[in-house]
Amino acid sequence: MKICVFGASGYVGASVYQLLKKPDGVDVSGTTLEDAPLFEELDILDINEPESFSDYFKRENPDVVIWLVQGGPEEHSLTTQGLMHVITFLRPETKLIYISTDLVFSGGKGPYKEEDPISSLPDDHALRHYTNAKVKAERYIENELTNYVILRAGPTYGENLIGKLDERTDKLAYHLRTGKEISYRDDLIRTFVHVEDFANVIVEMAQNDLTGVFHAGPDVQQSFYTFMQGMAEQQGFDGNFVQKAPEEEEPDTEVPKNTSLFTDKIKNKVNQTFR
Ligand X SMILES: NC(=O)c1ccc[n+]([C@@H]2O[C@H](COP(=O)([O-])OP(=O)(O)OC[C@H]3O[C@@H](n4cnc5c(N)ncnc54)[C@H](OP(=O)(O)O)[C@@H]3O)[C@@H](O)[C@H]2O)c1
Closest distance of CB 81 from ligand X, Å? 8
The whole-angstrom separation of Cα 57 and Cα 123 is 34
- Report if residue 115 touches ligand X, rule: CB under 6 A: no
- Report if residue 131 touches ligand X, rule: CB under 6 A: no
The whole-angstrom separation of Cα 260 and Cα 91 is 34
- Report if residue 10 touches ligand X, rule: CB under 6 A: yes
Q: Contact with ligand X (CB under 6 A): which of 32, 131, 259, 260?
A: 32
State which residue has the least CB distance to ligand X.
10
- Report if residue 65 touches ligand X, rule: CB under 6 A: no
Number of residues this chain uses to bind ligand X (CB under 6 A):
26
- Report if residue 36 touches ligand X, rule: CB under 6 A: yes
* Side-by-side strand order, sheet with 27-32: 43-44, 27-32, 2-6, 64-67, 95-101, 148-153, 212-215
Q: Which stretch binds ligand X (CB under 6 A): 28-36, 172-180, 223-231, 232-240?
A: 28-36
Residue 241: how many CB atoms within 10 A of its CB? Answer: 16
- Report if residue 48 touches ligand X, rule: CB under 6 A: yes
- Report if residue 71 touches ligand X, rule: CB under 6 A: yes
Closest distance of CB 248 from ligand X, Å? 25
Strand ranges (E), the chain: 2-6, 27-32, 43-44, 64-67, 95-101, 148-153, 156-157, 182-184, 189-190, 193-194, 212-215, 222-223, 242-244
- Report if residue 46 touches ligand X, rule: CB under 6 A: yes
Question: Which of 170, 165, 175 is closest to 241 using CA atoms?
Answer: 175
Q: Give me the residues that bind ligand X (CB under 6 A), please.
A: 7, 9-13, 31-34, 36, 45-48, 68-71, 78, 82, 99, 101, 153, 155-156
